[in-house]
Amino acid sequence: DADVTQTPRNRITKTGKRIMLECSQTKGHDRMYWYRQDPGLGLRLIYYSFDVKDINKGEISDGYSVSRQAQAKFSLSLESAIPNQTALYFCATSEKGEDGYTFGSGTRLTVV
């Protein structure tokens, strides 16, 4: 099993719908992150969490919310999806130091 699992892998949804992307990890890391990746814009931080009780906005949090249900689970919600939220979404985990991030396989979201 992958260390960081994202579900679903692909999703097509309609404008205005609420959608949740889920992330679970077996690394035992306290720190978890949600990024979105768009062509030409790179990876941009949406939300991050340093532990279950510590959740922080990233640079592009508008239109998104998150829930840290447990150390191992960090979910991203789009309350009312819009087409410009079409992107590749990555969950990542980390510990302090040189190991950097462990990324999930990504969720490709299309809002039509």
Partner 1 sequence: QKEVEQNSGPLSVPEGAIASLNCTYSDRGSQSFFWYRQYSGKSPELIMFIYSNGDKEDGRFTAQLNKASQYVSLLIRDSQPSDSATYLCAVESPGGGNKLTFGTGTQLKVEL
Does 50 engage in binding with partner 1 (CB under 8 A)?
yes
Does 64 engage in binding with partner 1 (CB under 8 A)?
no
Q: What is the four-CA torsion angle of 78, 41, 86, 106, rounded to 10 degrees? A: -80
Stretch that binds partner 1, among 12-20, 64-72, 73-81, 100-108 (CB under 8 A): 100-108
Does 94 engage in binding with partner 1 (CB under 8 A)?
yes
CA distances from 5 to 47, 72, 90 (A): 17, 10, 10
Under rule CB under 8 A, how many of the chain's residues touch partner 1? 23
- Contact residues toward partner 1 (CB under 8 A) are 31, 33, 35, 40-45, 48, 50, 90, 94-96, 98-101, 103-106
